[in-house]
Amino acid sequence: MKITEEDQILIEMYLDNAISPTDLLSFEKRLKEEEHLASALTKQSEIHRFLRNREDRNDLKSMLEKQTIPQGKKPTKVIPFYASNWTKLAIGVAAIFLIVMVWQPWVSPDVYQQFAQHKPLSLTERGTQNNLAELEQTFNGKDYEQSAAFLKIYVAKSPEDIKAQLYLGISYLELGDYEQAEILLQKIAKGQSVFKEEAIWYSALSNIKQGNNTEALRSLEKLSKDGPYTQKAKELKSLID
């Protein structure tokens, strides 16, 4: 079946997250029922993804073309080293100490999971929309793909709702979309809302999840000394410092 121009436009708007919540529901219903529409969406989403990333892709290409190629290491001259037994023992102890300090076997690989305990999302008290309960359920039920999609629409309609922005950031963080997460978290962290501390905390967790402990420590330093995250920050620091 040939797809109409109206449907092509609807697909584009859907991919742009620019579709209204009412149209979204009916469009998603049609996607389940109309095979040709679903197939057109798959095809168009590839072009959509290409276009959204084309400029960045070209910038990366030019950057790689300018990249200086590392020169192979020259063989180094080996100087024989004669040491006494005591010196050898001291070197051994120092080496073990260094390995243990760098490796830090007591640091659990799931530090992020241990500390990323999210408070349940509750937007209902602030809004009047009926579908907010459904939105909250996606986040609280850990369906972060859906919660990110819903919150993105919600934030576009209610840009003043900082809490929704924070939870959108957390959803991105859970999905591993650090770039989007950082944009939102940094913005809130720099502001003066009641969610400032929470955004700094999550920014640190984002660094932890990416394996960047140095940056995480820097973020933790920005937390206030007797705020809601002081104790947690102390525990986290003791694991990564």
Partner 1 sequence: MHKDQRYILALKNRDERVITEIYDLHFEKIKKMILSNSGNESDAKDIFQESLIALFDLATKKEFVLTCPLGAFLHRICKNKWIDKIRKKKVKQEVSFEDHFRYGGEEESGLIVMVEEAEKENQIFNQLERAFQQLSETCQELLRKVRENFSAQEIAKDLGMDQMNTFYRRKNACIQRMKKILETA
- Integer Cα distance of 235 and 237 in angstroms: 5
Distance between CA atoms of residues 209 and 173, nearest Å:
9
Instruction: Give, as ranges, the residues between 144 and 173 that touch partner 1 (CB under 8 A).
Output: 156
Is 217 within 8 Å of 237 (Cβ atoms)?
Answer: yes
240 is an interface residue for partner 1 by CB under 8 A: no
User: Which ranges of the chain does DSSP label H, i.e. alpha helix?
Assistant: 5-15, 21-33, 35-66, 85-103, 111-115, 132-140, 144-157, 162-175, 178-190, 196-209, 213-221, 230-240
* C-alpha–C-alpha distance, residues 39 and 51, integer Å: 19
Least Cβ distance, residue 84 to partner 1 (angstroms): 37
What's the angle, vertex CA 194, arms to CA 191 and CA 197, rounded to 5? 75
| Burial tier of 172 (Cβ tally within 10 Å: 0-12, 13-18, 19+) | buried
232 binds partner 1 (CB under 8 A): no
User: Is residue 76 part of the contact set for partner 1 (CB under 8 A)?
Assistant: no
Our finding on whether 60 is near partner 1 (CB under 8 A) is yes
Interacting span for partner 1 (CB under 8 A) from 82-90, 114-122, 158-166, 210-218:
210-218
Of 182 and 197, CB closest to partner 1: 182
Residue 59 CB, shortest distance to partner 1, in Å, is 6
- 125 touches partner 1 (CB under 8 A): no
Among 1, 70, 128, 160, binds partner 1 (CB under 8 A): 70
Number of residues near partner 1 (by CB under 8 A): 43
List 34, 129, 178, 193, residue binding partner 1 (CB under 8 A): 178
Is-contact 199 159, C-beta < 8 A? no
Nearer CB in complex with partner 1: 52/126: 52
Binding site for partner 1 (CB under 8 A): 5, 8-9, 12-13, 16, 18, 43-44, 46-47, 49-57, 59-61, 63-65, 67-70, 72-73, 156, 175-180, 183, 210-212
